[in-house]
Amino acid sequence: MKLTRNCFLVLIFCCVASQANSENNSLIQNVPGRAPQSLNGKWNYIIDPYETGYYDYRYKPFDEMKNPGNGAFFLDRKPKDKTDLIEYSFDDSPTLWVPGDWNSQDEKLLYYEGTIWYRRLFDYKKTVTDNRVYVHFGAVNYESDIYLNGKKLGKHIGGFTPFNYEITDLLKESGNSLVVKVDNKRKKESVPTLNTDWWNYGGITRDVSLVEVTKTFIQDYKIQLKKGFDNEITGFVQLNEGKAQQVVSINIPELKITIIARTDSTGKAIFSGKLKKIDLWSPENPKLYTVEVLCGENFVTDKIGFRTIETRGTDILLNGKSIFLRGICIHEENALRGGRAYSAQDAQMLLNSAKELNCNYVRLAHYPHSEYMVRLADEMGILVWEEDPVYWTIQWENPATLANAMQQLTDVISRDKNRACVIFWSMANETPVSDARNEFLKKLAVHARLLDDTRLISAALENHTNPNNPNEKIVEDPFADYVDIVNFNQYIGWYDGTPEKCDKVNWIIKYNKPVMISEFGGSALQGKHGDAQTRFTEEYQEDLYARTLNMLSKIPQFRGVTPWILYDFRSPKRVLPKIQDGWNRKGVIGQNGTKKKAFFVLKKFYDQMEVKYK
């Protein structure tokens, strides 16, 4: 009996899933470049901690029923007459701003983790009858079920990557109801898992837009320098349909180049072409070329930079020249507002601060940040590390967890594969070594290389102390054999002794690869002063920075560093009253935007490194 019931449920689930997948819902490349219509703005919302609008009283999901009835919120019903019983109303519910997290918009939602339903009404008239229309979400944290005019478009898992659904057949010219059930409950099997050191901001945290495209259109493309060459571009153009023999052209007008290719039966055209003289992209010269991709009447324009990145022995070579990465870690948060960063202005604020430090590089921790960040980094000449949210302890042996991590990695690579600024794909942060974890990370690394062989693979690893010598620190991790750059986090002077310990420590790192320190730091409450021995003072943090940088400079393979972190950030783990009050204080800039003393130590070091590597 039990078996029959389970089989039945599986069947129903398959129906819903295959319905959603019957359209082509692969990611659309370069949404900002396709004149999208924004659905940002005020959305009505209903807080639903018991998921009353999703499950009936027998805990069966309404969206798996033939006739869900009046309880299903996604139907966005109104009473037909005065006898009709409907116990919710989007029309009379308050509004939240989209994009944005819910926690910082309403005090009673600050700590909320659970389900909130969003609804937005809109009209849309296609410019050409035959065209297709997609709805695109920059990111929704963490799980979302999406419905248009009462029909389910699909379910998306993962809080930091984009997704889109074709809505052509469901779209009306007026009165469309787009309903999104967002659930940010942390779960053991999720990526990230239950335990993190950042705020679990919930909501539709990035832009929502409608994208109108021709019936056959350029869904995706990759245009990059061929691995190992600085005078040849290669890549692909993918149509949304499996149409063969379609002529595709890639034009770079400034270089007077046109490359023609033809699609195969899957609608994919692979191309390559020589370039005569090209101005390579670099932090000193963030040159972006206008690139046009055409197929019949459909075309997309993008701005793309070309550069090479590789390692040779212990050097990182950008366009063939050894570089030192003067970096800083960044969370996707606007500290001044105390909420998720989501706009072009937020990205500008964060990257301007990194520039003020004289950075040529940022680590976007601990999950993919918005497309605004990487597009702006491309323009500003800031190299970028992007990271899969495989953080601390996830379920290494759970195939669904691996599939989830793999999908998030796939989507960020898919979205940002044309950005010159992105040089690293990071698989994970501070994960404990075990056979299962090593296998998990190896699979991610193999997958990332398969999707993109032009960038470097890394992960923020850990270090350990020689049991016979407390001043000997060792970096040794089986996954280090699979990365291009050995990156590790270390907190000598904060979690491990006091800053003077830095003066005594000797590092043993037996890898003939570039070594970077992906985190170091300590907390200081901005404006709190004292001597350098007093925890949480700016002086302590300043001293820790000076001694750490001195210590790290002695590592022969040292080629870059991203201290933890640019701005203070919210974390429910940080409960010390009057000092932390829900904030991790390791920023070199405080919650109010004021630079701490450590900021200037770091800047001075970066000024010196810039000269050294000129």
3-state secondary structure of 523: coil
Longest dimension (CA), the chain: 80
The CA-CA-CA angle for residues 105, 197, 571, to 5°, reads: 35
584 touches ligand GCB (CB under 6 A): yes
Q: Please measure the distance between the N-terminal and C-terminal CA atoms of the chain and give it in whole angstroms.
A: 74
431 touches ligand GCB (CB under 6 A): no
429 touches ligand GCB (CB under 6 A): yes
CA–CA distance, 317 with 454 (Å, rounded to integer) = 13
Identify residues 98-117 at the interface with ligand GCB (CB under 6 A). Answer: none
463 touches ligand GCB (CB under 6 A): no
Tokens of 70: 């009046």
Tokens of 407: 């999908």
40 touches ligand GCB (CB under 6 A): no
DSSP β-ladder status, 309-312 and 325-326: unpaired
* Candidate residues 430, 472, 496, 610; the one interacting with ligand GCB per rule CB under 6 A: 430
Taking CA atoms, 296 is separated from 8, 230, 248, 252, 388, in Å, by: 46, 30, 8, 17, 37
Select 119 or 331, whichever has its Cβ closest to ligand GCB: 331
Tokens of 111: 């700590």
119 touches ligand GCB (CB under 6 A): no
Identify residues 360-399 at the interface with ligand GCB (CB under 6 A). Answer: 366
564 touches ligand GCB (CB under 6 A): yes
Q: Which helix (H) or strand (E) holds 518?
A: strand 515-519
Identify residues 134-163 at the interface with ligand GCB (CB under 6 A). Answer: none
Select 104 or 584, whichever has its Cβ closest to ligand GCB: 584
The CA-CA-CA angle for residues 393, 398, 403, to 5°, reads: 100
Whether residue 248 contacts residue 262, with contact meaning beta carbons closer than 8 Å, is answered with yes
Whether residue 367 contacts residue 294, with contact meaning beta carbons closer than 8 Å, is answered with no
Tokens of 206: 């990035």
CA–CA distance, 74 with 181 (Å, rounded to integer) = 8
Smallest separation (angstroms) from ligand GCB to the CB of 424: 16
Smallest separation (angstroms) from ligand GCB to the CB of 392: 8
Smallest separation (angstroms) from ligand GCB to the CB of 252: 40
Q: Give the x/- contact pattern for ligand GCB in 501-520, rule: CB under 6 A.
A: ------------------x-
CA–CA distance, 343 with 334 (Å, rounded to integer) = 10
Taking CB positions, which residue lies at the least distance from ligand GCB?
197
567 touches ligand GCB (CB under 6 A): no
496 touches ligand GCB (CB under 6 A): no
* Candidate residues 115, 184, 414, 489; the one interacting with ligand GCB per rule CB under 6 A: 489
How many residues make contact with ligand GCB (CB under 6 A)?
A: 9
Select 132 or 570, whichever has its Cβ closest to ligand GCB: 570
Select 36 or 389, whichever has its Cβ closest to ligand GCB: 389
Identify residues 180-199 at the interface with ligand GCB (CB under 6 A). Answer: 197
CA–CA distance, 237 with 243 (Å, rounded to integer) = 12
CA–CA distance, 207 with 202 (Å, rounded to integer) = 14
3-state secondary structure of 238: strand
Q: Give the x/- contact pattern for ligand GCB in 327-366, rule: CB under 6 A.
A: ---------------------------------------x
51 touches ligand GCB (CB under 6 A): no
586 touches ligand GCB (CB under 6 A): yes
Binding site for ligand GCB (CB under 6 A): 197, 366, 429-430, 489, 519, 564, 584, 586
